[in-house]
Amino acid sequence: DIISAISAALADGPLQGKHILVTSGPTHEPIDPVRYIANRSSGAQGTAIARALAGLGAEVTFVTGPADVPPPDGVHVVRVQTAAEMLAAVQAAKPADAAIFAAAVADWRVANAGTSKIKKTATGLPQLAFAENPDILATISQMGAGRPALVVGFAAETDDVIAHASAKRLRKGCDWIVANDVSPATGIMGGSENAVTLITEAGAESWPRMTKDAVAAQLAQRIAQEIA
Amino acid sequence: DIISAISAALADGPLQGKHILVTSGPTHEPIDPVRYIANRSSGAQGTAIARALAGLGAEVTFVTGPADVPPPDGVHVVRVQTAAEMLAAVQAAKPADAAIFAAAVADWRVANAGTSKIKKTATGLPQLAFAENPDILATISQMGAGRPALVVGFAAETDDVIAHASAKRLRKGCDWIVANDVSPATGIMGGSENAVTLITEAGAESWPRMTKDAVAAQLAQRIAQEIA
């Protein structure tokens, strides 16, 4: 809304003068002109983080897949569909002081995606070949010269959350991982609350369950402490 | 809205006393707890048809996948996610005087859908096995005793529209097929207009491009002529 856009523009916060890149939402990977592979990310957490960072005075570039929630005001919005488009948008938005990769990017795409609708075959079943998508988090974490001072990844896990997420931090080369348990029983996927563990070089720090807005506010404060 | 709900309830139209089943929207077929296969159906055409039929006095059961547009007022709404759930809802809603299958039902589902998130394998690529979904249109078209007097299928094609759709009518055993060209260049998928060909025993009848509401009104009139 107008109020938040104005407050963001006027914000004399700790992140003023900083450019922060935030990705959010799902990606959609086409199978053919009518079918695609998607994931259940609503974009709610990434949107809240972008809003919180703008509220602390940051200039935010918000690269978003087809999310359920509208993007926040007061940020520069770049809309994409696929992982490949998201990487291209991230590359184009650099340089940045920090990059927060909250999007749920598809790990793979359909390599033989068709320009015509797939017809049923004799067996009735499709033959889909998959190809690995670009790894946006690893690409930016390991880019060398011009790397953002702080790179934050997300890990949505359904089991063994801290072990999987700690391994992911080392494998990708990012600074922090925000990990959470998206098992259906938690109700977090698509819900308004989140229960995250922040994994840094210093270890794992589990935050209490709170609203996604509160998680965003706390994470934005930590980012400000780190780079401001 | 309230006005249309009241007018539907008061409608003294040609379809009063008739129960019509309408399916609409996409289906979502899970891959694992966070990923799914979807299709680009917005549900706009099925929703418009249900509204038009209710406006002619029909009692409408509206079985809808996760569509972009809200269901019409004045109909009985049943929400589903997968093709299997849609068939179960259709079976539960019988008997009906007519059944209009406007949903874009996935032809197949992931047979090895996981309850944990798929992790990257050594090759980095998933091994998905597919299974054929129930064919709702064929099941109802060929049910024998208790079959709706009029069964209408839809065919969203990207090439050779009339030939593919005419063959589909014979293969499924339905009475009519509403066929259209959903090639990206037409802008029909997700747009407000449609250009359909009505395929009956008598042949193929191409309607001019018009709004989805106008297609729905014309189709509802034809249905009323057929079964009222």
pLDDT at B7: 60
A124 touches chain B (CB under 8 A): yes
Residue contact B108–A126, C-beta within 8 A: yes
Using CB atoms, pick whichever of B33, B40, B120 lies closest to residue A107: B120
Which residues of chain A lie closer than 8 angstroms to B103, CB-CB? Answer: none
B187 touches chain A (CB under 8 A): no
- The 3-class secondary structure across A166-207, one letter per residue, is HHHHHHHCCCEEEEEECCHHHCCCCCCEECEEEEECCEEEEC
Domain A2-152+216-227 has CATH 3.40.190.100: no
Which residues of chain A lie closer than 8 angstroms to B117, CB-CB? Answer: 156-158, 182
**Tell me, what amino acid is at A97?**
D
**ipTM above 0.85 for this complex:** no
**Residue B8 pLDDT class (50, 70, 90 cuts):** low
| B157 min Cα distance to partner chain A (Å) | 7
Q: Which of B87, B226, B71 is nearest to B143 (CA)?
A: B87
The pair phi, psi for residue A44, each rounded to 5°, is -65, -45
Residue contact B157–A124, C-beta within 8 A: no
Q: Return the minimum-mean-pLDDT range out of A137-146, A188-197, B216-225.
A: A188-197
Contacts of B97 (CB under 8 A, 6+ apart): B18, B19, B20, B148, B149, B150, B227
Q: Which of A175, A146, A152, A180 is nearest to A165 (CA)?
A: A180
Rounded distance, CA B20 to CA B72, Å? 14
Q: How confident is the model over B42-84, as pLDDT tens digits?
A: 899 999 999 999 999 999 999 999 998 999 999 999 999 999 9
Is the Cβ–Cβ distance between B202 and B195 less than 8 Å?
no
Q: How confident is the model over A48-97, as pLDDT tens digits?
A: 999 999 999 999 999 999 998 999 999 999 999 999 999 999 999 999 99
pLDDT at B68: 87
- Residue B123 gets which letter from DSSP? T
Query: Residue ranges per domain, chain B?
Result: 2-107+126-227
**Tell me, what amino acid is at A70?**
P
Structure tokens at A119: 């017809």
- Report the CATH fold assignment for B2-107+126-227: Rossmann fold (3.40.50)
Which residues of chain A lie closer than 8 angstroms to B30, CB-CB? Answer: none
Q: How confident is the model over B177-204, as pLDDT tens digits?
A: 999 888 778 877 778 899 999 999 999 9
The pair phi, psi for residue A194, each rounded to 5°, is -150, 150
The pair phi, psi for residue B29, each rounded to 5°, is -110, 115
